[in-house]
Amino acid sequence: MPAWLQVIGRMHPLMLHFPIVFMLIYGVMILFAPPKYKNEQWFVWLTRIILLLSAITAAITALMGLIQITGRKVEGYLKEVEEK
């Protein structure tokens, strides 16, 4: 696995927190926003942007996790083959 791809995979724990934080922000905004703001166009737009950011960062984080676990399996498999 190329070194640059390993770096991306190792960033998975860092990126893992972004979708969680975006979802928490969204939940707080929906639950605690004054009723007069909930029908405002800017509020609806902002909450949709936050949900979109959450979805995008969740997808990126999942891909980074797959890259990370793939690198570990390949390295572990190669070590087992070399030992035999």
pTM score of the predicted model: 0.74
List the chain domain ranges.
3-83
Q: State how far the Cα of 3 lies from the Cα of 83, in Å rounded to an integer.
A: 24
pLDDT digits (tens, 9 = 90+) for 44-76: 999 999 999 999 999 999 998 888 888 665 555
Residue 78 pLDDT exceeds 60: no
Which residue blocks in 1-84 are alpha helix, DSSP H? 3-10, 12-15, 17-32, 35-38, 41-83
Residue 81 pLDDT exceeds 70: no
Q: State how far the Cα of 72 lies from the Cα of 84, in Å rounded to an integer.
A: 19
- Please say whether the beta carbons of 61 and 15 come within 8 A: yes
